[in-house]
Chains A and B, each alone.
Chain A
Amino acid sequence: MSRVSAAERRGAVLVGGGLAAIAAARSLRANGWDRPITLVAAERGAPYDRPPLSKQYLTGHVRADEIELARSGELAELEVRLLAGRRAIALDPARYTVTLDDRTRLNYETLLIATGAAARRLADPGFAGAHYLRTLHDADSLARALRRGGRLTVIGAGFIGLEVAASARSLGLEVSVLESAPGPLTRVLGADAGAAIAGLHRARGVELRCGVRELELAVDRGRIRARWRTQDGPDETMADTVVAGIGAEPRVGWLSGSGIEVDDGVVCDAGGRTSSAGVYAAGDVSRWANALTGSTHRVEQWQAALEQGSVAGANMAADLEVAGASVRQWASVPYFWSDQYEHKVQFCGSTGPISLSAATVRGVVTCYAPAADAPLSGVLALDSPAALGAGRRLVAQRASWDEARAWLGEW
């Protein structure tokens, strides 16, 4: 009845070729898993790391072979069978099978959903020529367009959009950034920190327009015209290239009919277990409970994907009572970084309406709390990784606001 071999039926299948899946493969082996591991990656080629795509890779400072996720020979050492260029299209948790786009059916003993997220598309851009940035292919396509020079319009002043803006400026392009919110990154970092980052970009000659609505794009004599309104009235700009960075959506379409609970991502406990036995999820596609912070938000961050993949891999082995495997929980204050020109922006935890900033010798450090008498929930540091490391521990310890204020005074 089945075309799969007995050996494959005993294996772990990791669906997705990104960081979470690679971390799970390492963790499975570190936890004593000695049965087959199959990695199903939608993209061809070696699994690669995404953060450089908007930065050093886009500017041509690193090559594709320098951003591979696995060290040379590592997948072979881990005895991972890589099925690259193959997409999972259906999952049947009751029969423990996953179907690929060439109709191959793989049986599994334990499975990880790590299909990541897809760049959110403009609702009705009026033309089909906008670039997005999620994959190596996207980055190559955008890099070719940027090499032609001219003017770039970036839609969305989130981290990706701003990193692309900074990369394009360093390549000598003129850049406009259009954002619907009142300021860049306000949803993530609040108004003050957003204003500080806006200042970095304006100082480099980026034209930043916020409060943009009724945006329309149209081709006009070989270039792209963007028209919009703000509270000050109508405005427009011409560009040679348009890129949109307006968020990402978890890739869960292939799970429809599987019965796996999805609610803004695959819902997971603090160990990566989904609503179906034998099925785990990690990374951008998933929404985990965090055992330390109590948060149940989807975290689209590199370090969270690494940790979740690692925890899920351990539990995939431990839940099947593999000798030497230990059950683990995700209990960590998540953090991320962004490079904006020569500045390093690092953030941990979660933001809140209460904030306090201090200028340190290296850069501005900001503490956040969700309410006036609540403990410290997050820290933002500009060019101050040591402060972020220390601040992250305070968040983990649920330091009081008074303690946070005193700590900030020491930097």
Chain B
Amino acid sequence: MNVTVDQRICREYANCVIESPEVFDLDDATGKALVQIPEPDAGLHSAVRAAAAACPVHAILISD
């Protein structure tokens, strides 16, 4: 799994950080979501999928 956040779309909701605090965090400078683990282990996949679903603006892209 490969995870990216489209910084142009992100509107700083931070739902991804709630769903998967291991993989996502907010950039202190921009407030936008950052991916801390671009290729997360299988144990994190369901939380990452929940994060993508919980993003109101669909800024999280997952490729398997």
Q: Which residue numbers of A lie inside 8 Å of B, CB to CB? A: 49, 51, 56, 62, 71, 302-303, 306, 310, 335, 337, 344, 346, 348, 385-386, 388-390, 392
Q: Which secondary structure characterizes the binding site on chain B?
A: loop
| Max count, chain A CB within 10 A of own CB: residue among B17, B25, B58 | B17
Q: Are A346 and B53 in contact (CB under 8 A)?
A: no
Q: B13 and A386: CB pair below 8 A?
A: no
Q: How far does the alpha carbon of A306 sit from the alpha carbon of B56 in the complex, in Å?
A: 10
CB-CB under 8 A for A337 and B21, given A49-B56, A71-B58: no
Does residue B4 face the partner (Cβ distance < 8 Å to A)? no
Question: Complex formed: what's the CA distance from A10 to B12 in Å?
Answer: 41
Determine if B54 and A306 form an interchain contact, defined as CB atoms under 8 angstroms apart: yes
Would you call B15 and A344 a contact (CB within 8 A)? no
Count: A-B pairs, CB below 8 Å = 40
Q: Which residue of B has the minimal Cβ distance to A387? A: B21
Cβ contact of B21, chosen from A303, A306, A310, A386, cutoff 8 A: A386
Residues of A within 8 A of B54 (CB): 303, 306
Measured between beta carbons, the chain A residues less than 8 angstroms from B21 are 385-386, 389-390
Contact, CB under 8 Å: A386 / B53:
no
Cβ of B14 < 8 Å from any Cβ of A? yes
A306 to chain B, nearest CB (A): 7
Q: Is B44 an interface residue (CB 8 A)?
A: no
Instruction: Report the minimal beta-carbon distance from A339 to chain B, rounded to whole angstroms.
Output: 9
Q: Mark B7-25, 1 if CB is under 8 A from A, else 0.
A: 0000111110111110001
Q: How far is the CB of B30 from chain A (nearest CB, A)?
A: 13
Report A38 CB to chain B, min CB distance, Å.
Answer: 23
Contact between chains at B56 and A302 (CB < 8 Å): yes
The reply to whether A346 and B56 contact each other, CB–CB distance below 8 Å, is no
Q: How far is the CA of A386 from the CA of B58 in the complex (A)?
A: 20
Q: Is B26 an interface residue (CB 8 A)?
A: yes
Measured CA separation A389–B16 after assembly (Å)? 9
CB distance from B36 to the nearest CB of A (A): 10
Chain A residues whose CB sits within 8 angstroms of the CB of B53 once the complex forms: 306, 310
Name the B residues within 8 Å of A49 (CB-CB).
56
Which of B13, B20, B25 touches A337 (beta carbons < 8 Å)?
A: B13
Q: How far is the CB of A180 from chain B (nearest CB, A)?
A: 30
Chain A residue at minimal CB-CB distance from B18: A389
Question: Is there contact, CB below 8 Å, between A344 and B18?
Answer: no
**CB < 8 Å neighbour of A389 from B11, B13, B17, B56:** B17
Cα distance A303–B19 in the bound complex, in angstroms: 11
| Contacts A344-B14, A386-B21 known; 18 new A-B pairs at CB < 8 A | A49-B56, A56-B11, A71-B58, A306-B53, A306-B54, A335-B15, A337-B14, A344-B12, A346-B14, A346-B18, A385-B17, A385-B21, A385-B25, A388-B18, A389-B20, A389-B21, A390-B21, A392-B18
